[in-house]
Structure 1
Amino acid sequence: MTSDTNLHNARAADPDTAWQADVRAGVRHVRDLASLPLSPAERAAAQAAAVNHKVRAPKAYLDLIDWNDPADPIRAQVIPSPQELEEVEGELDDPIADHDFSPVPRLTHRHADRVLLFPTYQCAVYCRFCFRKESLTSIGRGYTHEALEPALAYIADHPEIREVILTGGDPLSLPDKALAEIFARIEAIPHVRLLRIHTRVPVVLPSRITSGLVAALQGRLMVTVVTHFNHAREITGATEVACRTLRQAGFVLLNQSVLLKGVNDSIEALEELCRELMYRLGVKPYYLHHGDLARGMAHRRTTIAQGQALTEALRARLSGICNPVYVLDLPEGGGKVPIGPCHVEGRQGESWRLRGLDGEVREYREIVGVQEEQSSKIPGS
């Protein structure tokens, strides 16, 4: 790890490369755990767990941890826990079957009009709950021009693809030059209209969001950035500046969180997170993911019933624009499905019984005008 003085000097000297100093000053190897204020027992346990999933976190993110609190929500996301070694039957290496829908390397085509593209399998931070940890910890899986050739050729050959989703790994952990090249190569495919970027960088490494990065992503394509904030403690002055920079560049900002036991599985934590995202950062809460069946993560998963109770309470407290959709990424590549609470209590004919946000059940009777027979016919039938 780099000293605070050296890091400060690097940030002041060149804002466009300060993020690289942030990475170097953080934890990048198991041996770097020795520099953290962990007890000998904690350090030994963390080192053992890190064998299964490597450890990495920038200094800017580590600085948010309250080391006096063993249950700190940021600590829980990045410091290895011995519970990760307790794998449960049914947990999977590839919980959402990315590989089963991969016709060429570095691409997943699960839905007709969009694809996942993996320009890199490296991240600025290795989240302990990651469902792609088996891929992320592979060596030598960064970006090269040649590595994406088959995937880009596939996209060009499939005109039904309108949206390309950059994921990984974290695409924004790449240098500006690589991002500009990737953007230009996708932009050159006429039928692609939207570029979506899934990233944890604005959360854990806000210094990476620079004018150079923004310039690399400007052009014909509409750009949506999906951030991954999981707790309001992750929202700081630096993340506020980073999100403002992205917003002012014209990018749409959404957020997807993971419901994590011991991190954000309380109504107070979720309410504060969603309010801060929308009202402070201008980031729309998009999805709240139920925990995937990633190996060694049983200690961080809630039950679906617990998630439904939380999202129902959240709906009663926040406006619609602040509410994420509670979803589950189905095994075997079934895709994301909403699993939020159902407010339909019953139906009899045209009468529906529905439970309101106040808990009261009310009746709604369908009143539909008589349709002319012709209007219901399908043209050409």
Structure 2
Amino acid sequence: MLSNFSPEEIESNRKDLFSRTIWEDPTSQLAHRVKGNDLSRYFLLTDSEKKGIEETIRLNVSVTPYYLSLSDPFDPHCPIRRMIVPDSRESVFSAEESPDPLEEERLSPVRGLTHMYPGKVLLFSNHSCSVYCRHCMRGRKVSSPNERMAKEDLELAFDYIRSHQEIEDVVISGGDPLNLADSRIDWILGELSSIPHVKICRLGTRNPVTLPFRVTEELCKIIESHNNDSLSIFCNTQFNHPKECTQEAKAAVLRLLKAGVSVGNQSVLLKGINDDPEIMLSLHKKLLEMRVRAYYLYDPELIPGSRGFRTPLNKGLEIVEYMRGKIAGMGIPSFVNDLPGGGGKITLSPNWYLGYYPKTRQHAFRSALTGKVHYSFEPVDSEEESKYPILEESIWEKLNENNTSRL
């Protein structure tokens, strides 16, 4: 049973936790992570949250003191809290959900490796994260000790990569690869660097957000030593809300940039957290100030217990449309759906292109800036006209009428 604490006790417990933690020491942060049964010491839990903690069908609960400090102990709608504390919706396994909606296990030729795209593989480096985010799409593996990747497992994965010369790009994920020891990270990057046909390595890590102190000078020196003419290393992280854009997070990003590592952001669209155009715009403005470029905005996966996070598909289109013209293009993410069944990622965008009118050889576009229709001509020697959606006469005339009325 979860204990009940008063607001005064909760504030006192938080102060005690923060004082016991050596704040900028990642090892101390990890040692003082808060687990599920202790959440009531640091949050005034709702009945729904108590049920979620006790009956979740998802991954374990764990949060660093640093990330917990960004949350509101008394507001159940706090966006950071929502990503930390389960609620009752995590206890429901809906009919449309699957533990592995992308069928990564089916596409896994050896343990810990997914080969979905011809020239790219996903390497599951470890099962541990600094914070077990409630929306994690790999809840079937993350936080489970049974999914630990031994060195022998990783060696088999490297053997597979060596034997498939079409593989040029390796995404290292998990868990969080930066939760591994420096020596293990050094070894993994060294192995990849020794494979001639591997040209790109992408580190998928949320530690710049949840444990920025893990991005140490020593770690960055290791990464920089492998970031060379034979292997280009990138980092993709996941900021989901402006509250995560702290000075500590910015310092971690700057350390990576100084090591020559480009940092991109992959947000997940989450109901009640960031499914608001102004919140998403604010987030990406802050990210540009931190020198982080927008990469993806993910439509949530159909994972067990995720009903509380999923949004209508149109919400992502609405957000991307709203952002266009209000921020530099490098601050606007591509809205993507990672197709269930292992179909891979597809990008979705607002309907800027309206169609083609053969009589005048013109394409019609809707401007994100003005809302007006703008026209562009097809080359006279084009042989591609049959590939465009044709605008009927009535629609063409209506577009022109609407344009005139806006003048």
TM-score (norm 1): 0.90
8 Å contact from structure 1 (residues 122, 141) kept in 2? no
In 1, distance between residues paired with 2:221 and 2:375? 54
1:137-162 Cα distance to aligned partner (Å, 9 max, x none): 32243342112121100000111111
Deviation at 1:3, TM superposition (A): 3.5
Alignment of 1:34-113 (within 5 A): 34-39=40-45, 41=47, 44-50=50-56, 52-113=58-119
In 1, distance between residues paired with 2:233 and 2:178? 13
SS in 1 for 2:280: helix
Q: Answer yes or no: is 1:162 the counterpart of 2:176.
A: no
SS in 2 for 1:116: strand
| Aligned-partner residue type, residue 66 of structure 2 | A
In 2, distance between residues paired with 1:43 and 1:246? 36
Deviation at 1:30, TM superposition (A): 2.4
In 2, distance between residues paired with 1:297 and 1:39? 20
Q: Answer yes or no: is 1:23 the counterpart of 2:30.
A: yes
Q: What does residue 273 of structure 2 align with? A: 263
Q: What does residue 324 of structure 2 align with? A: 315
| Aligned-partner residue type, residue 295 of structure 1 | P
Deviation at 1:180, TM superposition (A): 0.8
SS in 1 for 2:233: strand
Higher relative contact order (CA 8 A, sep 6+): 1
In 2, distance between residues paired with 1:196 and 1:51? 30
Q: What does residue 239 of structure 2 align with? A: 229
Deviation at 1:43, TM superposition (A): 5.5
Q: What does residue 398 of structure 2 align with? A: none
Match of residue 363, structure 1, among 352, 372, 375: 375
Alignment of 1:104-253 (within 5 A): 104-217=110-223, 218-219=225-226, 220=228, 221-253=231-263
8 Å contact from structure 1 (residues 53, 133) kept in 2? yes
Match of residue 5, structure 1, among 1, 9, 19: 19
- For residues 189 and 370 of structure 1, do their structure 2 counterparts lie closer, same or farther at Cα, with a shift above 3 Å needed? closer
Match of residue 302, structure 1, among 307, 311, 325: 311
SS in 2 for 1:44: helix
Q: What does residue 351 of structure 1 align with? A: 362
Can you give the 5+ residue segments of structure 1 that lack an aligned partner in the other structure?
372-381
8 Å contact from structure 2 (residues 52, 89) kept in 1? no
Which entry has the higher C-alpha Rg, 1 or 2?
2
8 Å contact from structure 1 (residues 224, 253) kept in 2? yes
In 2, distance between residues paired with 1:370 and 1:51? 56
In 1, distance between residues paired with 2:220 and 2:346? 32
8 Å contact from structure 1 (residues 49, 85) kept in 2? yes
Deviation at 1:6, TM superposition (A): 3.0
Q: Name the % identity.
A: 33
8 Å contact from structure 2 (residues 79, 241) kept in 1? yes
TM-score (norm 2): 0.85
In 2, distance between residues paired with 1:154 and 1:368? 50
Deviation at 1:63, TM superposition (A): 0.3
SS in 1 for 2:220: helix
8 Å contact from structure 2 (residues 121, 167) kept in 1? yes
**RMSD, aligned α-carbons:** 1.8
Q: What does residue 334 of structure 2 align with? A: 325
In 1, distance between residues paired with 2:283 and 2:189? 31
- For residues 361 and 37 of structure 1, do their structure 2 counterparts lie closer, same or farther at Cα, with a shift above 3 Å needed? same
Deviation at 1:244, TM superposition (A): 0.5
| Aligned-partner residue type, residue 269 of structure 1 | I
In 1, distance between residues paired with 2:55 and 2:375? 54
| Aligned-partner residue type, residue 123 of structure 2 | L
Q: What does residue 375 of structure 1 align with? A: none
Deviation at 1:316, TM superposition (A): 2.8
Deviation at 1:66, TM superposition (A): 1.5
SS in 1 for 2:73: coil
8 Å contact from structure 1 (residues 48, 82) kept in 2? no
1:289-311 Cα distance to aligned partner (Å, 9 max, x none): 01111111122111111211111
Alignment coverage as a number of residue pairs: 362
1:249-303 Cα distance to aligned partner (Å, 9 max, x none): 1001111000111000111100011111112x10101000011111111221111
1:163-193 Cα distance to aligned partner (Å, 9 max, x none): 1110111101111111111111111111111
Deviation at 1:51, TM superposition (A): 5.2
Deviation at 1:370, TM superposition (A): 7.3
Deviation at 1:359, TM superposition (A): 1.5
- For residues 36 and 160 of structure 1, do their structure 2 counterparts lie closer, same or farther at Cα, with a shift above 3 Å needed? same
In 1, distance between residues paired with 2:297 and 2:382? 40
8 Å contact from structure 2 (residues 119, 167) kept in 1? yes
SS in 1 for 2:166: coil
8 Å contact from structure 1 (residues 113, 160) kept in 2? yes
| Aligned-partner residue type, residue 374 of structure 2 | R
Deviation at 1:37, TM superposition (A): 2.3
